[in-house]
Amino acid sequence: MEGSFAGLAHGFDVALAWHNLIWCFVGVVVGNMVGVLPGMGVLSTISILLPLTFSMQPVAALLMLSGIYYGAQYGGAICSILLNLPCHPPHAVTCLDGYPMTKQGRGGVALGITMLAAIIGAAFGIGQMMVLAPYIASIAFKFGPQEICALMLLGLLAGSTLAKGSPIKGISMTLFGILLSLAGTDINTGNERFTFGYAELSDGFELVAISLGLFGIAEFLKSVNSVSLAGVKNVRLGFRDLRPSRADLRQGLPPILRGTVIGSLCSLIPGTGPTIASFIAYAMEKKISRTPERFGYGAIEGVASPEASTHSAVQGDFIPTMSLGIPGDAVMALLLGALMIHGIQPGPRLIIEQPDIFWGLIASFWIGNIILVVLNVPLIGIWVKLLMVPYRYLYPTALFFVCIGVFATRNEMFDVAATLGFGAFGYLLLQLGFEPAPILLGFVLGPRLEENFRRALLLSRGSMETFIDRPISAVFIGISVLLLAAQVYAAVRKMRAPVKLPEEAFD
């Protein structure tokens, strides 16, 4: 603990040196812009800017590139909430309640609560990195394939009812998402599955293509068809009150804290990044809510919890990367690459051997997040005014950026076509009363479930007992069973009681 504060003091010395401060500022501002632009990804931005950092000092380079990553999360929620465009996968789930809030004229409130969630989530994530980094190995190493598999199972069970409407439809959409995720190369055998001869499918569908298609494009198709632009009219009502009221805060704060904890836990488990964290946070918030029927119709908890979770997971993502030298995802791998180009070896000794890098980075997180809040809070009003741009200009422009962004993810036209295809499919689903959100859940969690399930069985030589032999995994399996039992019990009780079910009417 004491060492942490001494380290942090040193870190502030490093991060407040003017050249580092400027690059940190540049990073978060670029990140913020990238976050707002639909489809422009963090990964492509960092890889484009990487060559620029060759001539910079390593600390400044790392502060800037990291700033892009967490800065983008501040911008990422804006399009999700205002336009139903989930430009960044972690914020896809924010659409579910954020966009309905916008339609009710409460878009400004949603953005305000997002800011609060961001700063609380990030602060917790950074604090965790300061204190826990030295012990991370022992926590991360408790999660083998059995544990991850059991956790994913729990996530899928809890989350398959995360959308509004009928549970059966939700579950079928989850399964469909898992099915989609099967397309691509099977990691256990190297074989290609469901690629139908398209080489572009050999690594599967791009998550960003699916989420932008199912949410953004589908919503676009839906609104274009309906002549009355009710959404825009309602938005005007909302300008009076952009700030969350006291009641909003009271309602939003507990979910923010819960989301923060979920996000930080997820970031400690290998390979479980912000996207999974935000889905699990939303699913859990709905599960424990006394009024789950409000979710999907503009519940403030449905924005607060996943956003806090995303931000704390994003900061937490740096922990295994910096303390073990094992990158959790492609963005982290690229950051380590940037360090290596400067001749700095990532690994367990980085914290001791390169205190400038580690503590400078942590101090820059504090500085960067404060800059981001200061920048973004006054901008909320301007973002909301964006909706006053006539629909016929706003959406085509957004779609243009979506196409560029999706293309830039892998430099593949195929992905643009996939986005449009998923858009048309998503429109069909909406017309039939299917909510697309669980598709994303299945798509994100499914592959991790399968990969780890098969790996666990490979190691146990086919014995299923391995999942209940290990304590952490046994607990997750136990909760899953309880959850299923509760569901079945509720269903049986409903069947026995011949009462008319009001929520069925919404389907």
Partner 1 sequence: MRKNFTRREALVTAAGLAAGIAAIRPAKAAGYPERPVKIIVPFAPGGPTDLMARVMAGYLSERTNGSFVVENKAGAGGNIGCGFVAHAEPDGYTLLVHSSALVVNPGLYKKVPYDIFKDFSPLVELGTSPNVFFTNPTTGIKTMADLVARAKADPKALSYASAGIGTTPHLSGELLKLKAGIQMTHVPYGGGGPGMQAVLQNTTPIGCVSLPPTLPFIKGGQLIALGVTGKTRWPELPNVPTMIELGFPGFVTDTVQAFMAPAKTPQAVVDLVVKTSIEILHDPKIAKQLYDDGFEVLANGPAGMQKRIDDEVPMWRDLIAKSGIEPI
- Contact residue for partner 1 among 1, 18, 191, 498 (CB under 8 A): 191
C-alpha–C-alpha distance, residues 448 and 188, integer Å: 12
Q: Which is nearer to partner 1, 140 or 276 (CB)?
A: 140
271 contacts partner 1 (rule: CB under 8 A)? yes
Question: Which string of x and - marks every residue 407-436 that binds partner 1 (by CB under 8 A)?
Answer: ---xxx------------------------
Give min distance, CB of 72 to partner 1, in A: 16
Residues 47 to 76: which contact partner 1 by CB under 8 A?
47, 50-51, 54
250 contacts partner 1 (rule: CB under 8 A)? no
Looking at residue 479, the DSSP 8-state letter turns out to be: H
* Runs of H (alpha helix) within 183-229: 207-211, 218-225
Q: What size, in residues, is the chain?
A: 507
Q: How many CA atoms lie within 13 Å of 285's alpha carbon, on the beta-carbon side?
A: 38
Give min distance, CB of 474 to partner 1, in A: 17
Q: If you write DSSP's letter for every residue of 140-181 in order, what string do you get? A: HTT--HHHHHHHHHHHHHHHTT-SSS-HHHHHHHHHHHHHHH
Q: Which is nearer to partner 1, 48 or 492 (CB)?
A: 48
462 contacts partner 1 (rule: CB under 8 A)? no
| Phi, psi angles (nearest 5°) of residue 184 | 125, -165
Q: Which is nearer to partner 1, 148 or 361 (CB)?
A: 148
- Contact residue for partner 1 among 5, 131, 202, 433 (CB under 8 A): 202
472 contacts partner 1 (rule: CB under 8 A)? no
| Phi, psi angles (nearest 5°) of residue 185 | -85, 130
Q: Which is nearer to partner 1, 344 or 403 (CB)?
A: 344
The residue written with tokens 């836990």 in the block is: 265
Residues 320 to 339: which contact partner 1 by CB under 8 A?
324-327, 330, 332-334, 336-337
Query: Nearest to residue 455, comparing CAs of 240, 239, 144?
Result: 144
C-alpha–C-alpha distance, residues 311 and 121, integer Å: 5
Q: Give the binding range for partner 1 (CB under 8 A) out of 126-134, 138-146, 394-402, 495-503.
A: 138-146
145 contacts partner 1 (rule: CB under 8 A)? yes
189 contacts partner 1 (rule: CB under 8 A)? yes
Amino acid (1-letter code) at residue 229: L
- Contact residue for partner 1 among 6, 224, 288, 340 (CB under 8 A): 340
193 forms bridges with which residues in the sheet? 184
* Runs of H (alpha helix) within 269-354: 274-288, 301-316, 318-324, 330-341, 350-353
3-class DSSP state for residue 30?
helix
What number of chain residues touch partner 1 (CB under 8 A)?
A: 52
488: number of Cβ within 10 Å: 10
199 contacts partner 1 (rule: CB under 8 A)? yes
355 contacts partner 1 (rule: CB under 8 A)? no
Binding site for partner 1 (CB under 8 A): 43, 46-47, 50-51, 54, 137, 140-145, 185, 187-192, 199-200, 202-203, 270-271, 324-327, 330, 332-334, 336-337, 340-341, 343, 345-349, 410-412, 451, 455, 458-459, 461
